[in-house]
Amino acid sequence: MNTTTKQVQIVEVGPRDGLQNETVILSTSQKVDMITRLANAGLRRIEVASFAHPDKVPQMADAEAVLAALPPRDDVSYIGLILNWRGWRRATDTAVNELNMNVSASNTFNQRNQGSDTEDTINVLGQIVLDAAEQGIPVTATIATTWGCPFEGEMPIERLLFVAGAIAATGVAEIALADTIGVADPWSVTERITAVRQVAQGIPLRAHFHNTRNTGMANAYAAINAGVTTLDSSVGGIGGCPFAPSATGNIPTDDLVYMLDRAGIATNVSLDAVIEVSRHMATLLDRPLDAMLPKAGRFPRLQAVS
C-alpha cells in the first residue's frame, strides 16, 4: 500500500450506476431515502441521477423529481450524470451540485451509448464546461472502456491517451478512468493511471471499477498505490451498464470501506451504517447483493459494553 496515502474519498454511485441496471424500479421516495441514508453514513459525493433518455434508461426517468425532493445539504455534493447536450439542458433546471459526463475511449461504445462519435462528445463536453462554469457547477468526465470495450476488444493505450488529453484540454475538474466491463488487472491499472497522469495536465484522477471478473478490489488497491485518492463504489456492489453486455456490479462500498479501514486509510464513512443501507437495499431489490461485509460482518466485531 502507498504509505503516503492517508485518506481516500469515496464517490458513491449506487443511486445511479447501481440502480440503472436493476429490473426493480424504485420509486422517487425510495431513491431519496436511499440517498439520505448514504449521506448520513458519511458519503459526501453521491451520484444521484442520470439525465439519459428515459426510454433507454427507465430506472432514471425521474431524475428531476429525485433532485427536487432531496434536502439541500452543505456537506454533500449531489452528482448528475449527463451524456450529451440534452442531458446538460435538463440538468440546468435542477439543484444538482456537480455534473459528470461520460465519454468513451471506444468510438463504437460511444456511438451505442450516446449516439455520437467520441470526438463529437468531447467537443460538446468542452462547451458544457464553459457554460457550467458560468453557473458555478463543476464538471467532471468519466472515460468509459478505459481498459476494454465489448465491441472493439482491448483498448490501445495510445487511443486512451489521445482521449484523455483531449478531455483534459476542456478544463474538466476531474477525470475518472472507468473499467466499464470489468476486464482490468492491477498491473494494467498501474500502467494506465501512470500514463494518463502524464497527459492530464495536473487534473485529479479518479478510478471506477466493475467487479465482473472478480478483480475490482485488487484494481482499487492498485489505483491507490498509483496515487489515486478518489474511488467510485456502489453500496452492496449493485450496478452495471445496460449498454455493455455482462457488465456486472461495481466494487461494493461496504467492502471498500472495510479494506481501507483495515489499512488505516480514512474515508470518514461509517462501515456499520453502510452495511445497514446495503441490507435495506437487498430487501428493496428482492435479491442478495454482492457485497461480502453484510454477510460476514465487520471484524473485529463490536463488543457489547456491560
Query: Which CATH number does the domain housing residue 265 bear?
Result: 3.20.20.70
Strands 77-82 and 148-149 turn out to be unpaired
pTM: 0.95
Residue 303 belongs to some domain of the structure: no
Domain count, the chain: 1
Domain range enclosing 204 = 9-296
- Please report whether residue 245 resides in a domain: yes
- Determine whether 241 is an active site residue: yes
Domain presence at residue 39: yes
Which candidate in 181, 241, 259, 277 is catalytic? 241
In a domain, 2, yes or no: no
Residue 276 lies in a domain: yes
* Enclosing H/E stretch for 110: helix 107-114
Nearest to 241 by CA among 8, 127, 81, 95: 81
For cell 456486472, the residue is: 248
**Beta strand residue intervals within 121-229, DSSP E:** 139-144, 148-149, 153-154, 175-179, 205-209
What does each of the 306 residues of the chain score in pLDDT, given as a tens digit? 555 679 999 999 999 999 998 999 999 999 999 999 999 999 999 999 999 999 999 999 999 999 999 999 999 999 999 999 999 999 999 999 999 999 999 999 999 999 999 999 999 999 999 999 999 999 999 999 999 999 999 999 999 999 999 999 999 999 999 999 999 999 999 999 999 999 999 999 999 999 999 999 999 999 999 999 999 999 999 987 666 666 678 999 999 999 999 999 999 999 999 999 999 999 999 999 999 999 999 898 765 544
Q: Is residue 115 part of a domain?
A: yes
Residue 143: all three cell numbers together:
472515460
Residue 301 lies in a domain: no
Does some domain include residue 302? no
